[in-house]
């Protein structure tokens, strides 16, 4: 599979294509509650089995973080820290058992935080980050871990610089909602850094930094518009997409985004007399917002 195909996934997400839940809704909640009852009754072995089962059901089942942390903390520290933990349950840490359990949760792709725990521990012990565990955390669905993986591969923190691997990790982080990674992937596509240069794909990737359904940062929308201006081909499609990025930025209190959006609408009104009044009305509203947000030239 070509590495650029990683960027198809965010498009699938945008049109509502989602993966089936890994477990019955609420099954993890029920299993966690069962473990709490067993723990409170002093049936520690049964409780740990329930916590493990709930942990490995995956995030869609509910209560995963609590279940996984209770299971792993008990093995690592000899205590869960749970309020219902009886005094008799406290025991000595079992580090080999903890490492085996964390590996199980991590490498089955069920609990990304277990991968991050193991990566941090190895880093502290050896002074070097673990690509194995950081990559596993990314594969398990942690956007933050994918972003870390991309940065480490790009900078050569694992040894040799790995630009194709960095691009792949940025694409995965973008897919998982770390929208600044979408722009980084776009820049790599535009420059041919670790991937075949493709300006059309780069422009598409940049737009993922400011999605229609959930833009999170007006600056990313402005940066995406700027990227399209720099690397687009001035086609009607690219102009439209650039204006859409600015429109989304103006959903937030940003003087820069609203002022630029107004300016583009004013240019469009000059080129389309039939729609000029509607465009000018929209531009006036964007100017009003830009003025309110501190752009003196829009006042």
Contacts of 82-89 with CB under 8 Å at 24 or more apart are 82/36, 82/39, 84/36, 84/39, 84/40, 85/39, 86/39, 86/40, 86/42, 88/42, 89/39, 89/42, 89/44
- Quote the pLDDT of residue 16: 35
User: Closest Cα to residue 182, out of 210, 206, 214, 215?
Assistant: 206
pTM, rounded to two decimals = 0.79
> Is 85 part of any domain?
no
DSSP per-residue letters across 149-215: HHHHHHHTTTSS--HHHHHHHHHHHHHTT-THHHHHHHHHHHHTSSS---HHHHHHHHHTTS-SS--
Which residue positions in the chain have pLDDT lower than 70? Answer: 1-25, 60-62
The number of residues in the chain equals: 299
Query: Is residue 259 in some structural domain?
Result: no
Q: Is residue 156 part of a domain?
A: yes
Q: Would 214 be classed as within a structural domain? A: no
**Is 114 a member of any domain?**
no
pLDDT at 7: 39
Residue 165 lies in a domain: yes
127 assigned to some structural domain = yes
The gap from C-alpha 148 to its chain's centroid, in whole angstroms, comes to 11
Residue 136 domain-assigned (yes or no): yes
Domain extent at residue 160:
120-178
Tell me what pLDDT residue 15 has: 26
pLDDT at 8: 33
Can you give the pLDDT at residue 208?
A: 95
Q: How many domains does the chain have?
A: 1
């Amino acid at each position: 599979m070509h590495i650029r195909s990683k960027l198809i996934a965010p498009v699938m997400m945008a049109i509502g294509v989602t993966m089936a839940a890994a477990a019955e809704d609420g099954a993890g909640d029920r299993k966690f509650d069962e473990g709490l009852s067993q723990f409170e009754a002093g049936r520690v072995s049964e409780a740990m089995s329930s916590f493990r089962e709930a942990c490995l059901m995956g995030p869609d089942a509910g209560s995963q973080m609590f279940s996984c942390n209770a299971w792993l903390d008990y093995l690592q520290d000899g205590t869960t820290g749970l309020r219902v933990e009886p005094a008799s349950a406290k025991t000595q840490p079992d580090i080999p058992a903890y490492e085996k359990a964390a590996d199980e949760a991590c490498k089955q792709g069920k609990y990304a935080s277990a991968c991050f725990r193991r990566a941090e521990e190895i880093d502290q012990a050896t002074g070097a980050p673990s690509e194995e565990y950081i990559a596993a955390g990314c594969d398990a669905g942690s956007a933050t871990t994918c972003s870390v993986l991309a940065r480490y591969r790009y900078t050569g923190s694992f040894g040799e610089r790995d630009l194709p691997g960095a691009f792949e990790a940025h694409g995965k982080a973008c897919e998982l909602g770390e929208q600044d990674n979408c722009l980084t992937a776009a820049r790599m596509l535009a420059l041919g850094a670790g991937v075949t240069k493709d300006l059309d794909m780069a422009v598409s990737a940049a737009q993922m930094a400011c999605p229609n359904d959930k833009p999170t940062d007006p600056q990313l929308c402005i940066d995406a518009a700027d990227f399209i201006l720099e690397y687009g081909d001035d086609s009607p499609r690219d102009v439209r997409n650039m204006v859409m990025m600015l429109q989304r930025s103006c959903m937030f209190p940003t003087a820069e985004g609203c002022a630029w959006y107004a300016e583009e609408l004013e240019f469009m009104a000059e080129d389309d007399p039939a729609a000029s009044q509607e465009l000018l009305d929209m531009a006036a509203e964007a100017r009003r917002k830009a003025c309110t947000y501190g752009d003196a030239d829009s006042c």
